């Protein structure tokens, strides 16, 4: 009986601790960013004119930036997107996995491999083929493409797509992998490489900055269609669906205006009747909110 | 001395039961059926022993003769029903023939390309063959191909579409009384968004032969 008396307070204390633990689990863990906060931290990579660019003196601007503000605005009346600058595209996964940001809007392609790493996506909000950026007047296509030196961003989906390129001289060869696209552009300017291979929309963004210096070539058989999504940590499917709902409002409203304003170098006949860069509802159903479990921190 | 002989008899019978279980399991590969048979046989042996009062002598239990006979009858009936019903169930059950489906040129297939499918020497009397294929992006780091990929058979009169996780099933019916059952056909990889570079690997998820 005495033993029982001694154990009772300890038991009650333990029960109390358990109760506190359960209550704590219902809240966002400390430091984790949420889409329900008044200020929603949105990861952006600012080295891509047209999509998202900053000279570090002014605020970032571009399609991704407009979209981030638009979608967060549709999430809640009092909510505001706060840009969180990610150094380069290679760090997007880690910023989400580290819970440093609630969302990532940074030319972030939806891939199965990212889903498997615990990164989920709302969207897509934009789709794009992959293409080559070359010097004006450069003959690059068909027979002239074999063995030509090409630059890609290290670890990007464009880089991954080059894995299928043959090494028998009939296909282009990756001669340089850079961390940021502007370094690839510099190599193209100085003639070290003959082309930069990346998403068509990214290359058109650069063309907007330097229209006289480059041209975009759609190569047809190289690269895959990319679907840009809004990155969100896996295991938060309700949040993901809420972002989808906000995105739907944006896609049927402001999307067209923001697209035209930010990509004025894309020939108008490219989207005269149907805009190939605009995803449809079916794409959203197949690609978004797929990750059920939250990755372990 | 007398008891030792009985224990030896019991041990011998248990060994026989073990051999029986091993044979049944090897032949049918079905553990549940084996266990049912073994239990049935073991109970029967015990009942027979009790009938001859051997069990009574060993254990000191008093077993009623009439109850023993009833129990033996019930167990024998259950075993008999199992033996009769099981082959019937087996006959109508689908046979897994996944390992009989051979694929050719099935890795890194771009949209528009064909995968050769050959199915030889199907066992049993099945008529309806159902094959489910699985599609996986060849390079999951480069994009997302699976949701937009579907398969078609090469028969232009009866193209069937399949999509991973939905209805990637193809059904074929062999004519009644066919002497041999084998198939050779091709499936074409398609991409509904027209992405010509979405290469996929095609594998057989499951193939069943139904009667």
Task: Give the C-alpha separation, B139 to A78, whole Å.
Answer: 42
Phi, psi (deg, nearest 5) at residue B67:
-60, -40
Q: Of A199, A228, A198, which Cα lies nearest the Cα of A126?
A: A228
Q: What is the mean pLDDT of chain A?
A: 85
Q: What is the DSSP letter of A142?
A: G
Number of CB pairs, chain A paired with chain B, less than 8 A apart: 55
pLDDT category at B87 given cuts 50, 70, 90 is: low
Q: Where does a domain end: B57, B92, B127?
A: B92
Of the residues B110, B138, B143, B149, the best mutation for testing chain A's interface (the one with the most A CB atoms within 10 Å of its CB) is: B143
For range A138-152, the mean pLDDT: 86
**Same domain, yes or no, for B165 and B145?**
yes
- Res A148 pLDDT > 70: yes
- DSSP helix/strand/coil, A166: coil
Q: Where does a domain end: B32, B59, B92?
A: B92
Q: Where does a domain end: B92, B117, B141?
A: B92
**Same domain, yes or no, for B40 and B100?**
no
More confident residue, A109 or B78: A109
pLDDT category at B48 given cuts 50, 70, 90 is: low
**Same domain, yes or no, for B77 and B119?**
no
Comparing A183-187, A201-205, A266-270, which segment has the lowest mean pLDDT?
A266-270
Quote the strand ranges of A192-247, DSSP E. Answer: 195-199, 215-217, 226-233
- Sort out which chain B residues have CB atoms less than 8 A from A287's CB and list them: 144, 147
Q: Note the pLDDT of residue A64.
A: 96
Q: Note the pLDDT of residue A100.
A: 92
Nearest chain A residue to B144, by CA: A111
Task: Give the C-alpha separation, A54 to A158, whole Å.
Answer: 23
- Res B50 pLDDT > 70: no
Cross-chain Cβ contact B137/A112 below 8 Å: yes
Q: Note the pLDDT of residue A16.
A: 37
Q: A194 to each of A8, A90, A183, how far by Cα in Å?
A: 78, 24, 14
Q: Note the pLDDT of residue B134.
A: 92
**Same domain, yes or no, for B120 and B88?**
no
Which residue segment(s) compose the domain that B126 sits in?
Answer: 95-210
Q: B105 to each of A180, B62, B96, B117, B138, how far by Cα in Å?
A: 38, 72, 23, 9, 13
Q: Which residues of B touch A (CB under 8 A)?
A: 108, 137-148, 193, 195-199
pLDDT category at B190 given cuts 50, 70, 90 is: very high
For range A71-82, the mean pLDDT: 90
- DSSP helix/strand/coil, B205: strand
Say whether the peptide bond before residue A124 is cis (omega within 30 degrees of 0). Answer: yes
**Same domain, yes or no, for B113 and B182?**
yes
- Res B147 pLDDT > 70: yes
Per-residue pLDDT reduced to its tens digit, A249-270? 999 999 999 999 999 888 888 7
**Same domain, yes or no, for B33 and B62?**
yes
pLDDT category at B2 given cuts 50, 70, 90 is: very low
> What is the β-pairing status of strands A195-199 and A130-134?
antiparallel
**Same domain, yes or no, for B84 and B128?**
no
> What is the β-pairing status of strands B101-104 and B114-119?
antiparallel
CATH of the domain at B117: 2.60.40
Q: Above 0.90 for ipTM, yes or no?
A: no
The residues with which A100 forms a beta bridge, in sequence order, are: none
**Same domain, yes or no, for B140 and B174?**
yes
Sheet of B169-173: strands edge to edge? B95-96, B200-210, B128-137, B169-173
Q: Note the pLDDT of residue B94.
A: 67
**Same domain, yes or no, for B185 and B107?**
yes
Task: Give the C-alpha separation, A52 to A266, whole Å.
Answer: 16
- Domains for chain A: give ranges and CATH numbers: 39-127+226-287 (3.40.190.10), 130-217 (3.40.190.10)
pLDDT category at B23 given cuts 50, 70, 90 is: low
**Same domain, yes or no, for B101 and B14?**
no
pLDDT category at B200 given cuts 50, 70, 90 is: very high
Query: Which of A112, A222, A227 lies at the smallest CB-CB distance from B146?
Result: A112
Structural domain total, chain B = 2
With pLDDT > 70 as the criterion, what percentage of chain B qualifies? Answer: 56
Cross-chain Cβ contact A111/B141 below 8 Å: yes
Q: Note the pLDDT of residue B3.
A: 44
DSSP string, B9-68: HHHHHHHHHHHHHHHHHHHH--HHHHHHHHHHHHHHHHHHHHHTTHHHHHH-----HHHH
Q: Note the pLDDT of residue B168.
A: 74
- Res B78 pLDDT > 80: no
A170: closest CA of chain B, how far (Å)? 16
Task: Give the C-alpha separation, A255 to A259, whole Å.
Answer: 6
Per-residue pLDDT reduced to its tens digit, B112-125? 999 999 998 787 66
**Same domain, yes or no, for B55 and B126?**
no
- Res A28 pLDDT > 60: no
Q: What is the DSSP letter of B129?
A: E
Comparing A135-149, A166-180, B33-47, B191-205, which segment has the lowest mean pLDDT?
B33-47
pLDDT category at A1 given cuts 50, 70, 90 is: very low
Q: Note the pLDDT of residue A26.
A: 36
- Res A88 pLDDT > 80: yes
**Same domain, yes or no, for B83 and B163?**
no
Q: What is the DSSP letter of A151?
A: E
């Amino acid at each position: 009986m005495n033993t029982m008396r001694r154990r009772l307070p300890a038991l009650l204390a333990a029960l109390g601790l358990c109760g506190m633990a359960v209550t704590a689990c219902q809240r966002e863990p400390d430091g984790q960013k949420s889409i329900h906060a008044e200020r929603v931290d949105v990861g952006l990579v600012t080295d891509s004119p047209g999509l998202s660019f900053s000279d570090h003196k002014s605020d970032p601007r571009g399609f991704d930036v407009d979209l981030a503000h638009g979608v967060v605005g549709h999430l809640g009346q009092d909510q505001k997107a706060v840009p969180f600058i990610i150094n380069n595209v290679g760090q997007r996964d880690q910023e989400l996995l580290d819970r440093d940001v609630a969302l990532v809007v940074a030319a972030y392609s939806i891939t199965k491999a990212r889903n498997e790493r615990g990164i989920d996506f709302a969207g897509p909000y934009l789709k794009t083929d992959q293409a080559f950026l070359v010097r004006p007047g450069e003959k690059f296509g068909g027979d002239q493409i074999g063995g030509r030196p090409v630059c890609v961003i290290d670890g990007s989906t464009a880089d991954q797509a080059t894995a299928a390129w043959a090494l028998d001289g009939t296909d282009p060869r990756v001669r340089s992998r850079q961390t940021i696209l502007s370094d690839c552009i510099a190599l193209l300017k100085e003639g070290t490489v003959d082309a930069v291979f990346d998403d068509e929309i990214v290359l058109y963004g650069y063309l907007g900055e330097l229209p006289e210096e480059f041209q975009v070539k759609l190569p047809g058989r190289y690269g895959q269609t990319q679907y840009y999504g809004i990155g969100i940590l896996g295991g938060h499917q309700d949040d993901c669906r809420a972002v989808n709902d906000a995105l739907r409002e944006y896609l049927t409203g402001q999307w067209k205006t923001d697209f035209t304003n930010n990509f004025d170098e894309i020939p108008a006949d490219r989207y005269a009747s149907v805009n190939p860069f605009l995803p449809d509802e079916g794409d959203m159903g197949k690609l978004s909110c797929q990750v059920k479990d939250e990755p372990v921190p | 001395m007398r008891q030792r002989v009985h224990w030896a008899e019991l041990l011998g019978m248990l060994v026989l039961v073990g051999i029986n279980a091993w044979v049944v399991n090897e032949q049918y590969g079905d553990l549940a059926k084996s266990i049912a048979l073994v239990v049935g046989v073991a109970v029967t042996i015990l009942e027979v022993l009790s009938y001859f009062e051997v069990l009574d002598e060993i254990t000191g239990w008093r077993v009623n003769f009439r109850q023993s006979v009833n129990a033996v009858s019930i167990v024998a009936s259950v075993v008999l029903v199992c033996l009769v019903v099981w082959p019937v169930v087996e006959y109508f059950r689908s046979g897994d023939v996944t390992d009989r489906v051979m694929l050719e040129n099935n890795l890194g297939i771009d949209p528009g390309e064909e995968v050769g499918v050959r199915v030889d020497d199907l066992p049993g009397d099945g008529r309806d063959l159902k094959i489910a294929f699985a599609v996986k992006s060849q390079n999951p780091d480069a994009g997302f191909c699976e949701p937009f990929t579907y398969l078609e058979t090469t028969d232009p009169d009866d193209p069937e579409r399949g999509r991973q996780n939905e209805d990637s099933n193809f059904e074929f019916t062999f004519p009644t009384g066919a002497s041999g059952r084998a198939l050779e056909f091709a499936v074409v990889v398609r991409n509904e968004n027209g992405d010509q570079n979405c290469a996929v690997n095609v594998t057989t998820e499951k193939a069943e032969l139904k009667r």
